[in-house]
Amino acid sequence: MSGQQMMEMPDLSNAIVAQDEMGRPFIIVRDQGKKQRAHGIEAVKSHVLAARSVASILKTSLGPRGLDKILISPDGEINITNDGATILTQMELSSEIAKLLVELSKSQDDEIGDGTTGVVVLAGAMLDQALELIDKGIHPIKVANGFDEASKIAVAHLDKIADTISINTSDISENLTSDSELFKAAKTSLGSKIVSKTHDKFARMAVEAVLSVVDFERKDVDFELIKIEGKVGGSLEDSKLIKGVVIDKDFSHPQMPKEIRDVKVAILTCPFEPPKPKTKHKLDISTVEEFKSLQTYEQDKFKEMIKYVKDSGANLVACQWGFDDEANHLLLQNDLPAIRWVGGPELELLAIATNGRIVPRFEDLTPEKLGTAGKVTELEFGTTRDHMLVVEECANVKAVTAFLRGSNKMIVDEGIRALHDSLCVVRNLIRDNRVVYGGGAAEIACSIAVAAEADKQKGIDQYAFRAFAQALDVIPLSLAENSGLDPIDTLTSLKSKQVNESNNNLGVDCLGANNNDMKELFVIDPLIGKKQQLLLATQLTRMILKINDVIISGKDEY
């Protein structure tokens, strides 16, 4: 056989011999061109590239000059945001490795509440650097272990450079000044959001809300007591913090009073209707007398229910279920304003705010189980006759509602997300009042510390240390690029200044203040948030570097 003929022979190493219905043999050669499984190092590279593509999308949304993304859901709903966790959760991702970055941003959001974009950008940068080392022939496990050691040095350095801010417990309502450090921290977190034009108002709302519900002994903030309610119409400036509860309902009858003072509210989970047997039942009515007796029975039951409520001393009823026109009319006749179809979470919040008990049966209603509040007011919005009820001066002053307005649903939704991030920052500072400075200052300081430590390492670890230091530089580089500055010039200048002046507070001047000292500009990040970013990004990078194959359950992959 000639060499030319041998070249043209197909590869039969993966062939299967089969027989047709007549018993004649034939050969099946599997088509390997369509889908090949990457093994070993090549697989790791493909996984890194998949994760890197996601991180590159978020890089332009980092910082106060970061750009927003338009997200269009499958049913055509439009959302505009630059919140990392929101962008990733609404993206359609086919790669299993890219989905890990979504989990990363969610874990940062669940644990800290802010910094979801930064943690994904940081993880993407670490994977970029790891890819370069793998191309040089360094084993992925060696890179992963080196990154782990480098992250410990970076976290320890963050502890060294952290500053402590003072928290004034009297920073509520009129006492809250623009010099309050909590107020400045809340403003920093809002700088990159769509509400940055009104960040003073939102920062004030965030600080007041947290300080209204904080438990300083346990250093804990119960977010269950802070409700964020949004309503389209008006501008962001019309948003306000209400010391009480806002219920997105109106009184059940239009002739009921629009304002009630010295409120005693009965919170019910039982419906205003005659009791029914638990089994399937059928009622046959054949005469007028039977119908009248049934009607009399129903009316007697309605009157009995209303008597239970009146005897308890309640002057307002909040019911989880609806009730028919007859019950509604009887409530109006007996001067008993009522709210129907109140949702479970709203009912619980109303009970917490008014120190009331949720009552499952009318027979259990007693004066001690009623909730108390100073007043309940029905608000009207615009020309649509849209109504909401505001319960103020509650028995439990620790329940507050942030009521946000906006010109459209997208702005209201983004306002809710921004306020949530700001609330989380204030909460984190109450848990741990140590801070590091933003604008990439902390990352540059850690990068310098890790690079200095790299020279002391022996063997391959020094490459991983230097790669980790370069990955940290991506945060200030991205901030400078998004702010229209020259990234390389800005970074080299800041690094040399930090080393020469021994000043760890120098970061990227994103807002054009002609000052790189983040301490003077009071651009800060809670220390626990920054440490969490480094640890989570490093853990995810280690995980991806250790994956060499993706096996989809129930499918053959060749």
81, 117, 354, 538: which is the annotated catalytic residue?
Answer: 117
Task: Specify whether 117 is catalytic.
Answer: yes
371 Cβ contact partners less than 8 Å away, ≥ 6 residues apart: 263, 264, 265, 267, 350, 351, 353, 354, 355, 356, 357, 394, 395
- Domain count across the chain: 2
Q: Same structural domain for residues 62 and 158? A: yes
272 in any annotated domain: yes
Q: Which of 396, 412, 428 is the last residue of a domain?
A: 396
22 in any annotated domain: no
290 in any annotated domain: yes
Kindly give the confidence (pLDDT) of every residue in the chain, 558 residues in length, as a single tens digit, with 9 standing for 90 and above. Answer: 444 444 444 454 555 666 665 666 655 545 443 344 344 577 777 777 877 888 888 888 888 888 888 888 888 888 888 888 888 888 877 777 778 888 888 888 888 887 788 888 999 899 989 888 888 888 888 889 999 999 999 999 999 988 887 776 655 545 566 667 788 888 877 877 777 778 888 888 888 888 888 888 888 888 888 888 888 888 888 888 888 888 888 888 888 888 888 888 888 888 877 776 666 767 777 888 888 888 788 788 888 888 888 888 888 888 888 777 777 888 888 888 888 888 878 888 888 888 888 888 888 888 888 888 888 888 877 766 778 888 888 877 778 889 898 888 888 888 888 888 888 888 888 888 888 888 889 999 999 999 888 888 877 888 899 999 999 999 999 999 988 888 899 899 999 988 888 888 888 888 777 888 888 888 888 888 899 999 999 999 998 888 776 676 655 443
Q: Same structural domain for residues 387 and 442? A: no
Distance of CA 494 to the CA centre of its chain: 32
430 in any annotated domain: no
406 Cβ contact partners less than 8 Å away, ≥ 6 residues apart: 230, 232, 234, 235, 236, 412, 415
Question: In angstroms, what CA-CA distances link 91 with 58, 68, 107, 327?
Answer: 12, 14, 17, 48
Name the one residue in this structure whose structure tokens are 């054009």: 512
31 in any annotated domain: no
Q: Of 368, 379, 270, nearest to 319 (Cα)?
A: 270
Q: Same structural domain for residues 354 and 492? A: no
Task: Specify whether 86 is catalytic.
Answer: no
Q: Same structural domain for residues 256 and 385? A: yes
If DSSP codes are grouped into helix, strand and coil, which group holds residue 244? Answer: strand
Determine contact, residues 411/234, Cβ cutoff 8 Å: no
Q: Which of 396, 420, 444 is the last residue of a domain?
A: 396
Task: Specify whether 401 is catalytic.
Answer: no
Determine contact, residues 516/497, Cβ cutoff 8 Å: yes
In CATH, what number is assigned to the domain containing residue 361? 3.50.7.10
Q: Same structural domain for residues 328 and 387? A: yes
81, 86, 116, 354: which is the annotated catalytic residue?
Answer: 116
Q: Same structural domain for residues 273 and 364? A: yes
Torsion region of 379: left, alpha or beta (phi above 0 gives left; psi -120 to 50 gives alpha): beta
Q: Of 529, 534, 487, 527, nearest to 508 (Cα)?
A: 487
CA-to-CA distance for 265 and 259, rounded, in angstroms?
A: 13
114, 413, 421, 525: which is the annotated catalytic residue?
Answer: 421
Amino acid type, 229: E
Q: Same structural domain for residues 366 and 251? A: yes
Determine contact, residues 186/426, Cβ cutoff 8 Å: yes
Determine contact, residues 412/405, Cβ cutoff 8 Å: yes
pTM over 0.85: no
Name the one residue in this structure whose structure tokens are 């019309």: 238
Q: Same structural domain for residues 318 and 369? A: yes
2 in any annotated domain: no
Determine contact, residues 218/431, Cβ cutoff 8 Å: no
CA-to-CA distance for 153 and 161, rounded, in angstroms?
A: 12
Task: Specify whether 83 is catalytic.
Answer: yes
Q: Same structural domain for residues 327 and 449? A: no
60, 68, 81, 83: which is the annotated catalytic residue?
Answer: 83
Question: Which tokens belong to 141?
Answer: 């496990």
Q: Same structural domain for residues 465 and 372? A: no
Q: Same structural domain for residues 275 and 368? A: yes
E strand map for 250-352: 259-268, 316-319, 338-339
287 in any annotated domain: yes
337 in any annotated domain: yes
Domain membership of residue 356 as a residue range: 244-396
